[in-house]
Every structure is written in structure tokens, then in C-alpha cells.
């Protein structure tokens, strides 16, 4: 009889933390699962660690060479037998009741196609990440950035039966972000509001070693999201927007402050009919530093005052007065 869950993990030279990750799965309180591990051309002790685990629920697939994460996950997805696909990475730790709680959630909420969960970062950084709970907020946030940790996900397999892949193998990195954005308008997403995974942060993981490439692929997804609301930005606008979403934007003159404010308003006008309050809140978070930067660069102006006031970035009488005073100084040439 087919198992309820397929836990899907791709491994490539993962020997350092792999035994701990495998152990966290085989010791789950929920036991009706198969553990599908794709060995993606490892050349270290990864294979030896997997083969040393006697648990009969482990199934091993070998790639003849290193195919990459997206292709390896697609191979595993095609051979999975469970009603649910649970993702797991070789350096993370699933809490003992992770499967039990995610399966119970998916069985209770039959309309949900994908659910993630809160997770605890440990290692080089330490904090609890509380991800979005409802579909609308997840959809709005995905427009700007990936808000679903890949290794927290439980997917309903039948939801992806007509989805080519489901991972797009052209995305060597950010393939999960591309998948969520591609399916968020046809599937319902949710987040379990509880920590179910410990997410290890270390210098060897792909997101750390290849941050520039990952950003470039994520920017491709963001470009597609913009096209989805009818916006084709100029190269300069794209560069500014990608810098803002990547938290790299630091305007050096008043012209850049004005251009950033105008761009964020342009995106809001294009997308507001199809998105909710979280969409506006995310745009506001990118605009929030601009009033102070405008004053610092001595570029405060009545036009920018109107923009910032409309976005609630000059919320008090005192903040409005300070900004007006800077406008007067600039107009007087002081």
C-alpha cells in the first residue's frame, strides 16, 4: 500500500550534517512515510552515510552525474508514492512531530495545496522566523520575495500532477521561489503557525555560497511578477527595484530618491486591484527610508512631501513640520 507521505531530499556532498538530518526524519512520531533520497553525484561520504541507515522506509535514487537541485527533485517527485510530498534538506533538522502536524493540517484543510511553517534558524544566525499564515498575504509577499522556506514545505501531490516539472530546471537557484510564484494563482497556500523545523545557517549552504547567482534568478522571478501586472520596467527602473527588494538600495542624490518614490507608486497603481493590504505594506517598507534620506541629501521638496504623507510616512504633526522646514530651507537655498 502506498505511504501517506513521501519525504523528498536531494543530497550532493552533504556528509557534514546529513546523518543528523536523516535521523530527524526516521524518528518522526508520524510513521506512514517513505523517505526518498536522491544522490546527486556526490563524491564525498554522503552515499556511505545514507547506506549505513537501516530504516526500510529509505529509498535511494542515484543520478549518474550532478544534475542540480531542480532536476534531482523532479526525478524524486516523479517516483514518489505519497499523497503528500514533504521537502527536507540535508543540513536541516525536522522537529519530531513535524510530519504529524503538517499531515493533520492538510487533512483538515482539504483546499490547501501547499503549506509551510515557522522555522528556527540556528548556527551562524539564531532567530525564529514567523512566516505568513493566509493565502492572500503569502501571495502578496511572494510578489516581492520568497516567504516560504523550501525545507518547511508539505505539498499535495495531486495539485502538481498537471504542472510540468514541477520545478523549472532552467532555474539553477531560486527554483522554489519560481514554483511558488508560478502556482500561487491556481493553488491555495498556507502556513502552519508553529516552529516545525530547525533551519541551519552556515557558510557551506548553496544560498550562502552562491548568493549573487541566487539573487539573479530571484530577480528573473520578480521580473515575471511585474509583467503579470502589466509592467515592463526600463533597465534603470529594474535595477533600482531589484536593489530595493534585495535591500541594497542606497540613493546618493535627490534624483534617485524621487525616482524610487515614483517607481514604487507606479508598481502600486499597477498591482493594487489584484492585491491586498500586504502588497501596499511591502511597498511602503521599501519607501520608508526615503523621507529621512531625502532630508539627509537636502532634497526635500513639496512634491515628495505629498507622496510621503499619502503613504503615511510622515504620520505625526512633528514629522510633517520637520519635513516642511527642510523644504523651506531648500527653496530658500540655505
Residue 206: its pLDDT value, please?
55
* Arithmetic mean of pLDDT, 94-121: 97
Q: Per-domain residue ranges for the chain?
A: 5-210, 229-332
Q: What Cα–Cα distance (Å) separates residue 69 from each residue in 63, 154, 167, 176?
A: 11, 17, 9, 10
The fold of 5-210 is Spore Coat Polysaccharide Biosynthesis Protein SpsA; Chain A (3.90.550)
Residue 223: its pLDDT value, please?
97
Residue 29: its pLDDT value, please?
98
* Arithmetic mean of pLDDT, 34-42: 97
Residue 180: its pLDDT value, please?
97
pTM of the model: 0.92
Q: How confident is the model at residue 334 (pLDDT cuts 50, 70, 90)?
A: low
Residue 330: its pLDDT value, please?
85
Mean pLDDT of the chain: 94
In order, the DSSP letters of 183-252 are: HTTTS-EEEEEEEEEEEEE-TTSHHHHTHHHHHHHHHHHHHHHHHHTT----HHHHHHHHHHHTT-----
Place of cell 498537471: 162
Q: What percent of the chain has pLDDT over 90?
A: 90
* Helix, strand or coil, per DSSP, at residue 257: helix
Q: Give the C-alpha separation, 76 to 97, whole Å.
A: 23
Residue 258: its pLDDT value, please?
96
Residue 164: its pLDDT value, please?
63
Residue 95: its pLDDT value, please?
98
Q: What Cα–Cα distance (Å) separates residue 84 from each residue in 87, 292, 298?
A: 10, 48, 56
Amino acid at each position: 500500500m502506498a505511504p501517506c507521505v513521501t519525504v523528498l531530499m536531494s543530497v550532493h556532498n552533504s556528509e557534514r550534517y546529513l546523518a543528523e538530518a536523516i535521523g530527524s526524519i526516521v524518528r518522526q512520531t508520524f510513521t506512514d512515510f517513505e523517505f526518498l533520497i536522491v544522490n546527486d553525484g556526490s563524491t564525498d561520504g554522503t552515499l556511505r552515510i545514507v547506506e549505513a541507515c537501516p530504516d526500510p522506509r529509505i529509498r535511494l535514487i542515484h543520478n549518474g552525474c550532478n544534475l542540480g537541485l531542480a532536476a534531482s527533485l523532479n526525478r524524486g517527485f516523479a517516483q514518489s508514492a505519497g499523497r503528500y510530498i514533504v521537502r527536507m534538506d540535508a543540513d536541516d533538522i525536522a522537529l519530531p512531530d513535524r510530519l504529524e502536524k503538517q499531515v493533520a493540517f492538510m487533512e483538515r484543510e482539504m483546499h490547501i495545496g501547499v503549506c509551510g511553517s515557522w522555522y528556527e534558524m540556528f548556527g551562524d544566525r539564531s532567530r525564529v522566523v514567523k512566516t505568513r499564515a493566509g493565502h492572500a498575504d503569502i501571495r502578496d509577499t511572494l510578489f516581492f520575495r520568497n516567504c516560504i522556506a523550501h525545507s518547511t514545505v508539505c505539498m499535495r501531490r495531486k495539485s502538481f500532477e498537471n504542472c510540468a516539472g514541477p520545478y523549472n530546471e532552467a532555474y539553477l537557484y531560486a527554483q522554489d521561489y519560481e514554483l511558488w510564484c508560478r502556482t500561487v494563482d491556481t493553488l491555495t497556500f498556507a502556513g502552519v503557525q508553529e516552529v516545525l523545523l530547525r533551519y541551519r545557517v552556515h557558510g557551506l549552504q548553496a544560498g550562502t555560497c552562491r548568493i549573487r547567482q541566487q539573487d539573479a534568478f530571484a530577480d528573473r522571478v520578480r521580473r515575471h511578477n511585474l509583467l503579470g501586472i502589466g509592467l515592463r520596467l526600463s533597465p534603470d527602473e529594474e535595477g533600482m527595484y531589484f536593489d530595493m527588494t534585495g535591500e541594497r538600495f542606497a540613493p546618493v542624490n535627490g534624483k534617485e530618491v524621487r525616482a524610487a518614490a515614483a517607481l514604487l507608486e507606479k508598481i502600486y497603481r499597477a498591482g493594487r486591484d489584484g492585491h491586498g493590504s500586504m502588497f501596499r505594506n511591502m511597498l511602503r517598507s521599501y519607501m520608508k527610508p526615503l523621507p529621512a534620506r531625502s532630508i539627509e541629501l537636502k532634497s526635500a521638496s513639496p512634491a515628495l512631501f505629498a507622496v510621503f504623507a499619502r503613504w503615511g510616512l510622515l504620520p505625526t504633526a512633528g514629522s510633517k513640520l520637520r519635513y516642511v522646514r527642510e523644504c523651506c530651507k531648500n527653496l530658500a537655498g540655505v
